Amino acid sequence: MKSTLADALKRKGYDTLTPVQQAVSAPDLQGRDLLVSAQTGSGKTIGFGLAIAPTILSDAQVFDAAGAPLALVIAPTRELALQVKRELGWLYHDAGAFIASCVGGMDMRDERRALARGAHIVVATPGRLRDHIMRGSIDLTAVRAVVLDEADEMLDLGFREDLEFILEQTPTDRQTLLFSATVPRPITALAARYQRDAERVSTVSERTQHADIEYRAMNVAPRDGENAIINVLRYYEAPNAIVFCNTRAMVSRMTARLSNRGFSVVALSGELSQTERSNALQAMRDGRARVCVATDVAARGIDLPNLDLVIHAELPNSHETLLHRSGRTGRAGRKGVSALIVAPASFKKAQRLLKFAKLTAEWGRAPSAEEINAQDLQRMFASDDWQSNVNETERASVDELVARFSPEQLAAAYVRQYQQRHSAPEELSEIKEAGPKPNVPFGPSVWFSLSEGRNENASPRHILPMVCKAGNLTKADVGAIRIADEESYIEIRKSSVPGFLDAIGPQMKIEGKKDIVQLDTAPDFSRYEKTNPKRGTKGKRGPEKAANKPSRLVEPQPAKARKKTAPDPSEQAKADTKPKRNSDGSSGPGKKPARRPKGPTPPKGKPSSKKNRARAASAKGGNAAPRRSK
Query: Helices 108-117 & 126-135, crossing angle to 10 degrees?
Result: 70
Q: What is the mean pLDDT of residues 509-526?
A: 86
Model pLDDT, residue 568:
55
Q: What is the mean pLDDT of residues 498-519?
A: 89
Q: What is the mean pLDDT of residues 606-622?
A: 54
Is residue 302 over pLDDT 90? no
Lowest mean pLDDT among 33-42, 465-474, 514-523: 33-42
Is residue 475 over pLDDT 50? yes
Query: Helices 369-381 & 225-236, crossing angle to 10 degrees?
Result: 20
Model pLDDT, residue 78:
84
Model pLDDT, residue 604:
52
| Most confidently modeled range among 104-113, 271-280, 420-429, 567-576 | 104-113
Model pLDDT, residue 544:
41
SS3 assignment for 153-193: HHHHCCCHHHHHHHHHCCCCCCEEEEEECCCCHHHHHHHHH
Separation between Cα atoms, residue 55 and residue 48, nearest integer Å: 11
pLDDT in tens, 93-146: 999 999 999 998 788 999 999 999 999 999 999 999 999 999 999 999 999 999
Model pLDDT, residue 439:
56
Lowest mean pLDDT among 269-283, 301-315, 607-621: 607-621
Model pLDDT, residue 608:
52
Rounded percentage of the chain residues whose pLDDT exceeds 90: 33
Q: What is the mean pLDDT of the chain?
A: 81
Q: Which amino acid is at 478?
A: V
The dotted CATH code for 213-369 is 3.40.50.300
Is residue 533 over pLDDT 50? no
Under 8 Å between Cβ of 143 and 107: no
Model pLDDT, residue 233:
94
Q: Per DSSP, which regions of 470-567 are E strands?
A: 478-483, 488-493, 509-510, 514-518, 531-532, 536-537
Q: How sure is the predictor about 396, in pLDDT bands with cuts at 50, 70 and 90?
A: confident
Separation between Cα atoms, residue 101 and residue 84, nearest integer Å: 10
Lowest mean pLDDT among 331-340, 348-357, 404-413, 443-452: 331-340
Task: Give the residue with greater pLDDT, 284 vs 204.
Answer: 284
Model pLDDT, residue 106:
86
Is residue 581 over pLDDT 60? no
3-207 classified as CATH 3.40.50.720: no
pLDDT in tens, 202-243: 764 444 566 678 999 999 998 899 999 999 999 998 889 999
Task: Give the residue with greater pLDDT, 441 vs 603.
Answer: 441
Query: Helices 126-135 & 160-168, crossing angle to 10 degrees?
Result: 40
Nearest to 147 by CA among 60, 36, 68, 297: 36
- Report the DSSP beta bridge partners of residue 364: 218
Judge if 3-207 and 213-369 fold alike in CATH terms.
yes
Task: Work out the burial of residue 306: count CB atoms within 10 Å of its CB; fewer than 13 is exposed, 13-18 middle, 19 or more buried.
Answer: middle
Under 8 Å between Cβ of 145 and 70: yes
Sort strands 213-219 and 362-365 into parallel, antiparallel or unpaired. Answer: parallel
Task: Give the residue with greater pLDDT, 423 vs 562.
Answer: 423
Q: What is the mean pLDDT of residues 268-292?
A: 85
Model pLDDT, residue 210:
66
Is residue 194 over pLDDT 70? yes
Model pLDDT, residue 1:
77
Lowest mean pLDDT among 138-142, 210-214, 264-268, 406-410: 210-214
Task: Give the residue with greater pLDDT, 28 vs 577.
Answer: 28
Residue 539: how many CB atoms within 10 A of its CB? 13
Is residue 41 over pLDDT 50? yes
Model pLDDT, residue 535:
45
Identify the three-state secondary structure at position 200. strand
Domain boundaries, the chain: 3-207, 213-369, 445-548
Model pLDDT, residue 26:
87
Lowest mean pLDDT among 88-102, 266-280, 425-439, 553-567: 553-567
Model pLDDT, residue 23:
86
Model pLDDT, residue 489:
93
Superfamily of chain region 445-548: RRM (RNA recognition motif) domain (3.30.70.330)
Separation between Cα atoms, residue 297 and residue 347, nearest integer Å: 24
Identify the three-state secondary structure at position 481. strand
Task: Give the residue with greater pLDDT, 465 vs 105.
Answer: 465
Quote the DSSP letter at residue 552: B
Q: What is the mean pLDDT of residues 269-288?
A: 83
Is residue 449 over pLDDT 80? yes
Separation between Cα atoms, residue 34 and residue 178, nearest integer Å: 6
Could you write out the DSSP letters of every residue in 68-107?
A: S-SEEEE-SSHHHHHHHHHHHHHHTTTTT--EEEE-TTS-
Is residue 541 over pLDDT 90? no
Under 8 Å between Cβ of 243 and 382: no
pLDDT in tens, 327-365: 888 776 678 999 999 999 999 999 999 998 888 899 999
Q: How sure is the predictor about 559, in pLDDT bands with cuts at 50, 70 and 90?
A: very low
